[in-house]
Amino acid sequence: MGIVDWDDMYATGIPIVDDQHKALFRTINELHEGLALGKGKQEVARTLDFLVSYALDHFRTEEEFMLKHRFEGLSLHRFEHLQLMQDVMTFRERWTVDPGSVRPMEVTRFLGEWIVNHTQDMDFQYVRFLKEKGVPVEGLSAKPGLP
């Protein structure tokens, strides 16, 4: 059992978004497992590198759906995404300068809390909006030009 386990209560119903969220859950749990095995420092570096590329792709996917369907909460959602990126970059910079200044459990807790809270609050807001507009969320794709 991980520190944050995927559960259907986190599912948005948008396959690509849910797959991306599951990848983040797995990464957080791999970091947590690495801590238990005494490999926290190695896992922190890998996790922070993953997060930089993951966040860019994932946030772009969500924001494209919101923009395309004119979600009025896009600015606030985008602000939360930018805040996470800033926090991740701060962790990464601290790690680069002085790995001892970043406790692996600090990163694990931060990410676990963020994904759970962000998914259940912010992400469900735009999913509800899309459903109310009649957008079939299960058919949304990240490919340009598709619904």
45-94 pLDDT per residue, tens: 888 888 888 888 889 999 998 999 999 999 999 999 999 989 988 988 99
**CA separation (Å) from 2 to 22, 79, 116, 140?**
12, 29, 13, 29
pTM: 0.84
Q: In the structure, what pLDDT confidence band is assigned to residue 142 with cuts at 50, 70 and 90?
A: low
Report d(CA 73, CA 67) in Å as an integer. Answer: 10
CATH architecture of 13-134: Up-down Bundle (1.20)
H helical segments located in the chain: 15-36, 40-68, 74-97, 104-118, 124-132
Q: Find out whether 147 and 139 touch, Cβ atoms under 8 Å.
A: yes
d(CA 122, CA 83): 13
